[in-house]
A and B are shown apart, each in its own frame.
Chain A
Amino acid sequence: MIKAEEKRLSDLALKARILILNMLARAGSGHTGGSLSVVEILTYLYFHKMRHKVEDPAWPDRDRLILSKGHAAPALYAALSMCGYFPRSELFKLRRLAGSLQGHPDVRRTTGVEATTGSLGQGLSIANGIALGLRLSGNSSRVYAILGDGELQEGQVWEAAMSASHYRLRNVVAFVDANGLQIDGRVEDVMGLEPLTDKWKAFGWNVQEIDGHDFGQLDEAVQRAENRRDGGPNAIVARTTKGKGVSFMEGKASYHGVAPTMDELRRAMDELGGEILIEVKS
């Protein structure tokens, strides 16, 4: 990836983080840590890789993104609004009855969302189904799924891993946002997953392990995955940092399921050089 493109994507990622933190602080609840860890993956996909049309969200030839780790919805919403699928003001109605943005992605309520997710473990099966359907229709669109590492503790993920491999779903790329933390602590302490890449390999997937905050590595890995001639699905284990970008949130499980307070938002914006976009609650 050329430097200028990397710079453009980095700027977009920063903007996304600013929006995510603001919308979460406004909502007063939500999942901060896992939204921040997935920002580069989403930015890369929506602003560099995927074919999609804001003016025609149902365009049959679009690439699809399934956010299986649905609790990172704020990151998805930030990307979608930055693309123009809905106005930025909608972000600040996150989790509000008056808004369209649910606590977890909802295909029926939010333009640009491809599948309802949030109960963990279901997204890869849905991605596989879409991929099978596209293949049946002779459509060469790609399906990207993003899973959390803690999410891989769900048995259904491995059922789906078997299916994608069995049906040779070349058009599926699964990212694991491996930030190493889940609600109750370190993934390895709660229910160990390592050796993670070996697990995917054993299920018949091509696997690459990268730094999930590095656009160059993301691009290389996806290119390599999609240029393979030997077929089969592709997994990219993206090592990431939970709470990425905000020093006092980084690597802390305690920021999994809580929104920043106004004070924390202020401190975060100071670090990121971002603006507070919401009204300060008295």
Chain B
Amino acid sequence: MGLSDLCAGKKRTGLRDVYAETLIELAETNDDIVVLDADLSQSTRTARFGAKFPDRFFNMGISEQDMIGTAAGLALAGKVPFASTFAIFEAGRAWEQIRLALCLSQLPVKLVSSHGGITVGEDGPTHHCTEDAALMRVLPNMTVVFPADACEMRGVIVESMSMSGPLYVRGSREKFPDLNCPDTKFQIGKARVLRDGSDIAIIACGLMVDFSLQAAEMLKQEGLEARIINMSTLKPIDQEATVAAARETGLVLTVEEHSIIGGLGSAVCEVLSEHCPTTVKRMGVPDQFCASGTPCELLEMCGLTPKNIRKTAFEMLSGGRRPFATRKARSPSSKEEALSHNI
């Protein structure tokens, strides 16, 4: 089985391809855009920018810490730097440089990683990055976005041009299914409800948004309506959408291609524990390292498949534990009937 099977054969587009295209497009009219990479420019696709604008492309070699410092300096000199490499090296290797030179300094440097998560696959746990949301989210002034598809990648890059502080964007080696995004404009900090429903809310980011939509389709066959929320901005998280989802459904499931510690699930729990205590279940990479394998095998291993999202949602609904949240009026009979037939 390949990733396209997990994506139900949908058309998929590379986030990194769209990243490079968007950069080139913006750079045609903006002379201040500069791009840095750390010897992975073929993989991150920034080499395409480099081919087009050689004077504004800086390959820093295999030295991520220096890349971040140099990007900070370019920003101090009035340039608009984008710095790219694999997520683990970007967010991990250069974390303290990001903290001091970008976040404390409040500089508009855009970190656009590639190869986030476990779908890096065969390269193994040395190269899987399942901690970037946690590492970046904890930094003051940082904005953290995990685009769900190419359209969102384009959206965040375009919108980043008006930002005055640092940004981290998680990209992927794998192409993501096109969500055929709605007409609503992508906005940093705004969740998008991709499917309405009142039985349970599934809040997801990245590749897991498509998987959650598929799970919702399966649940619908069973008479259950799941609300699917694409929370591409992990920080600042859309509190309003999160609280509304909890209040109106009473059950929240989070799904992310990231450690269950410190990422989207944690961010949702932080909001809900203070504003609307609700039963939340976090799906993600368990607190352990993966291994080399195909992206699909690893997703299966971590339970990150449409089927397993459906199953987890179903179990939550069957458990029926919703001790705190106030639910809006619903028709319990239909839901309970559905559950009793499908366990």
Query: Chain A interface (Cβ within 8 Å of chain B)?
Result: 60, 106-108, 114-119, 121-134, 136-137, 155-156, 159-160, 162-163, 166-167
Contacts and interface: CB of A to CB of B under 8 A. Distances in A.
A159 B66 contact: yes
A203 to B, nearest CB: 12
8 closest A-B pairs by CB:
A129-B73, A125-B69, A133-B77, A159-B66, A159-B63, A129-B70, A130-B73, A126-B73
B78 A115 contact: no
Nearest to A104: B100
Contact of B74 (A60, A106, A114, A130): A130
Contacts of A126: 69-70, 72-73, 76, 101
Interface string B76-109: 1111010000000000000011001100111000
Nearest to A60: B78
Given A107-B105, A116-B105, A136-B56, A129 B76 contact: yes
A163 B70 contact: yes
A139 to B, nearest CB: 8
Instruction: Name the prevailing secondary structure of the B interface residues.
Output: helix
B61 interface: yes
Given A107-B105, A133-B77, A122 B58 contact: no
Contacts of B294: none
A137 B78 contact: yes
Nearest to A161: B66
Q: In the complex, which range does the number of interface residues on chain B fall in?
A: 20 to 34
A107 B65 CA distance: 19
A163 B60 contact: yes
Interface string B7-34: 0000000000000000000000000001
Nearest to B38: A159
B58 A167 contact: yes
A32 B96 CA distance: 26
Contacts of B101: 115-116, 122, 125-126
25 contacts: A60-B78, A107-B105, A108-B106, A115-B76, A115-B101, A115-B105, A116-B105, A119-B96, A122-B65, A122-B69, A122-B100, A123-B69, A125-B66, A127-B73, A128-B73, A129-B70, A129-B81, A132-B73, A133-B73, A134-B77, A136-B77, A137-B78, A159-B63, A162-B63, A163-B70
Contact of B79 (A60, A123, A136): A136
Contacts of B61: 159, 162-163, 166
B272 interface: no
B55 A129 contact: no
B149 to A, nearest CB: 32
B82 to A, nearest CB: 13
Interface string B34-66: 100000000000000000000110101101011
A128 B77 CA distance: 10
Contacts of B72: 115, 125-126, 129
Contacts of B208: none
B104 A116 contact: yes
A133 B79 contact: yes
A162 B104 CA distance: 26
B100 A119 contact: yes
B68 interface: yes
Given A115-B105, A132-B77, A159-B66, 7 more contacts: A116-B100, A122-B101, A123-B69, A129-B81, A130-B73, A136-B56, A163-B60
Contacts of B71: 129
B75 interface: yes
A33 B94 CA distance: 30
Contacts of B60: 159, 163
A114 B70 contact: no
Contacts of A129: 69-77, 81
Nearest to A127: B73
A161 B144 CA distance: 31
Contacts of B81: 129
A115 B76 CA distance: 8
Contacts of B104: 106, 108, 116
B105 A156 contact: no
Contacts of A167: 58
Nearest to B72: A126
A162 B66 CA distance: 10
Contacts of A107: 76, 105
